[in-house]
Chain A
Amino acid sequence: MKLSTYNFLTSMAIKGVKVGYPLKLTISKKDVVESEFNPVFIERLLPKLDWSAVYGAAQVAELAEDIPATQPENISDDEQLLQRLHHLLFEIDVLEGQMECPETGRIFPITDGIPNMLLNEDEV
Chain B
Amino acid sequence: MTKLWKKYILWFAQEHVDFRVAEFESIVKLFNIQFRHLTEHRLKPFWMVEFPNDETALQYASRSVALRSIIELYSHAHTIPEFHERLRAHVDLHRGELNVHFKANSFKVTVETYNKHFSQREKVEKIESMDYLPIAGAVNLKNPLVEWWYLEFWGMDATAVPATPEDILFGRMLTQGQRHLIQQLSLKQRKFIGNTSMDAQLSLLMANQAMVRDGDLVFDPFVGTGSLLVSAAKFGGYVLGADIDFMMIHARCRPSRISQKVRDKDESIRANLKQYGCADRYMDVLVADFSNPLWQTRIAFDSIITDPPYGIREATEKVENKSNAKENTRTAEMAHYPSTSHYSLQNLYADLLQFSATHLKLGGRLVCWLPFHRDDYDETMLPQHTHLRLVANSEQPLAGNTARRLLTYEKHLEYSDCPSQSIGGAPTQDFRDRYFNTNCAVESRQERRMRKAALREEGRLAMELRGKLHIDGRAKKCDLNKARFD
Contact = CB atoms under 8 A, between A and B. Distances in A.
A28 interface: no
Contacts of A111: 250
Contacts of A50: 296, 298
B284 interface: yes
Q: Is chain B's binding surface mostly helix, strand, loop or mixed?
A: loop
A117 interface: yes
B300 A48 contact: yes
Interface in B325-341: 325, 336, 338-339, 341
A36 B280 contact: yes
Nearest to A53: B296
B320 A121 contact: yes
Nearest to B300: A48
A50 B321 CA distance: 31
Contacts, number: 100
A10 B217 contact: no
A32 interface: no
Interface stretch (B56-64, B176-184, B287-295): B287-295
Contacts of A114: 249-250, 284-287
B280 A118 contact: no
Contacts of B293: 10, 12-13
B244 interface: yes
Contact of B286 (A5, A12, A36, A124): A5
Contacts of A36: 280
A74 to B, nearest CB: 20
Given A1-B284, A4-B283, A35-B279, A118 B298 contact: no
A41 B239 CA distance: 12
A44 B295 CA distance: 18
Contact of B298 (A9, A12, A49, A112): A49
A111 B217 CA distance: 24
A122 B321 contact: yes
Contacts of A35: 279-280
A41 B215 CA distance: 5
Contact of B288 (A4, A48, A90, A117): A117
Nearest to B330: A120
Interface string A33-76: 00110101100110111100000000000000000000000000
A40 B217 CA distance: 12
A1 B242 CA distance: 12
B286 A112 contact: no
Given A114-B286, A120-B319, A5 B240 contact: yes
A115 interface: yes
A108 B315 CA distance: 24
A51 B300 CA distance: 16
Nearest to B238: A41
B343 interface: no
A106 B325 CA distance: 21
A5 B321 contact: no
Contacts of A120: 319, 336, 338
Contacts of B321: 15, 121-122, 124
Interface string B262-290: 00000000000000000110011111110
Interface string A5-22: 101111011010000010
A44 B116 CA distance: 52
A10 B288 contact: no
B338 A2 contact: no
B250 A112 contact: yes
A13 B294 contact: yes
A116 interface: yes
Interface in B193-220: 214-215, 217
Contacts of B298: 47-50
B187 to A, nearest CB: 22
A115 B296 contact: no
Contacts of A117: 242, 286-289, 294
Contact of B283 (A2, A48, A118, A121): A2
B244 A118 contact: yes
A62 B221 CA distance: 31
Interface in B66-83: none
B284 A45 contact: no
A108 B418 CA distance: 33
Nearest to A22: B296
Nearest to A47: B298
Contacts of B339: 121
Nearest to B217: A45
B439 to A, nearest CB: 34
Interface string A97-124: 0000000000000011011111111101
Nearest to A119: B319
B453 interface: no
A114 to B, nearest CB: 6
A118 B319 CA distance: 8
Contacts of B286: 1, 5, 9, 114-117
Contact of A121 (B215, B249, B299, B322): B322
5 contacts: A4-B283, A13-B294, A114-B287, A116-B287, A121-B325
Interface of A: 1-2, 4-5, 7-10, 12-13, 15, 21, 35-36, 38, 40-41, 44-45, 47-50, 90, 111-112, 114-122, 124
Given A114-B285, A115-B286, 10 more contacts: A2-B283, A13-B289, A13-B294, A114-B249, A114-B286, A117-B242, A117-B287, A119-B338, A121-B320, A121-B322
Closest CB pairs A-B (n = 6): A13-B292, A117-B288, A5-B284, A41-B215, A116-B287, A35-B280
